[in-house]
Amino acid sequence: MPRMQTLPLKYGCNPNQPHAKITYAGPGDMPLAVVNGNPSYINALDALRAWRLVQDLKAVTHKPAAASFKHVSPTGAAVADSGALDPALVAVNFYPGTDRSPVAAAYAKARASDRGASFGDFIAVSEPVDESLAALIKPEVSDGIIAPAYEPAALELLKQKKSGKYVMMTMDPAHTDPPTESRVDMGLTLEQTANTLLPAADHLTRIVTDKKELPPAERETLLVLMTTLKHTQSNSVALGLAGHAIGIGAGQQSRIACTRLCCEKSARYLLKLHPKTVDLVARFKPDVKRADRVNALDAFVMWDELSKLERDHLRHQITGPVDPITPDEAAAYLADVSGLCCASDAFFPFRDNIDRLARAGVQTIAQAGGSVRDEDVIAAANEHRMTMAMTDVRLFLH
């Protein structure tokens, strides 16, 4: 007979909700454990959602995976690749050292997707936390991490965060979800079949555009994006590159709003790798704090949107003149990016989404299909010389 097991939580969604706990009545011991700190209800939700994502990413790609989560949606997700991290990515994110394990490199990419949104994130990784990953996490503002295990040196290093209160949790990788899931709202229990679908190459075979090319690297990126969207609050659209979700537009009521949001995030990510942005890294005044440097680089790539006051504030943090990226330079730089992919958690209802993705430099799209305007959307993709696969899979999450 399964026994009820309880894990107390710090408080609920807000401090004025003092009663919060996790209960488990499944077979065996509770698969979730707290290694350090005192997680809140939100921490636990982010941990569980993020854990599912990295486990699915590993299952889909067979690579170490990492995710940075905020408010039950990923700000970034990535799988490890075989090469070293882009030196520009390392520089503009102020990452320490050069020796990184595959799981540390995956998290470095995930965190870099949207540095502002990742401020105070909850981390999930598919592999045990090693010292390389712990050293990367230690200087970051982060609320906690969930992993299958911690190496002793990594555990001791992370225990130094937040005056010893940094939340560290483990989840048993062998634990599987039950066939149904439920939630209680207003005393009413809603129940549904668990979404066990894993994106696969078979979902990308129905290519409906004139352009049919789908290189292996772009196929993997589309699978990473589809898997990420499965664990992102709907509506959602994501852009990615080289196994890395670099722009996630989540939780918007209209799909074009999702599309605009992910395109804007993608452009900011890519322009932070521009040589002019990298040049600023070494020119911050010594008294400028790390978090302020991160914010300054985010502001720099949006120069045209800044007020005079904001521009003056940025200049005061830099030694020497500030040479902004001009609109023409930005357009040329973004146009030179190859392999940019997009996935949507449902169909695109209008061609305006495709037109916006084309302006962002997207060359490959995966979307569910099934709209009454599919032909209009396909025609738009053909006009922009894109490859578009219709997956026949919807990935809503609420």
By annotation, the residues acting in catalysis are 70-71, 235, 398
339 vs 131: CA distance, rounded Å = 32
Per-residue b/e over 21-54, b at no fewer than 16 CB within 10 Å? ebebeeeeebbbebbbbebbbbbbbbbbbbbbbb
As a whole number of angstroms, the longest Cα–Cα distance in the chain is 71
CB 256 within 8 A of CB 352: yes
CB 318 within 8 A of CB 300: no
Of 59, 81, 68, which is closest to residue 173 (Cα–Cα)?
A: 59
Beta bridge partners of 66: 78, 125
Which tokens is 297 given?
Answer: 């680089």
318 vs 330: CA distance, rounded Å = 21
Which tokens is 377 given?
Answer: 């959307």
382 vs 26: CA distance, rounded Å = 51
Which tokens is 382 given?
Answer: 């053909």
Q: What CA dihedral angle connects 213, 218, 222 and 225, to 10 degrees?
A: -150
Residue identified by tokens 């995930």 is: 110
Helix H or strand E segment including 191 = strand 188-193
379 vs 150: CA distance, rounded Å = 51
- Supply the Cα-derived Rg of the chain in whole angstroms: 21
Beta strands 5-8 and 21-24 are antiparallel
The number of beta carbons lying within 10 Å of the beta carbon of residue 92 is: 26
Residue identified by tokens 């509506």 is: 235
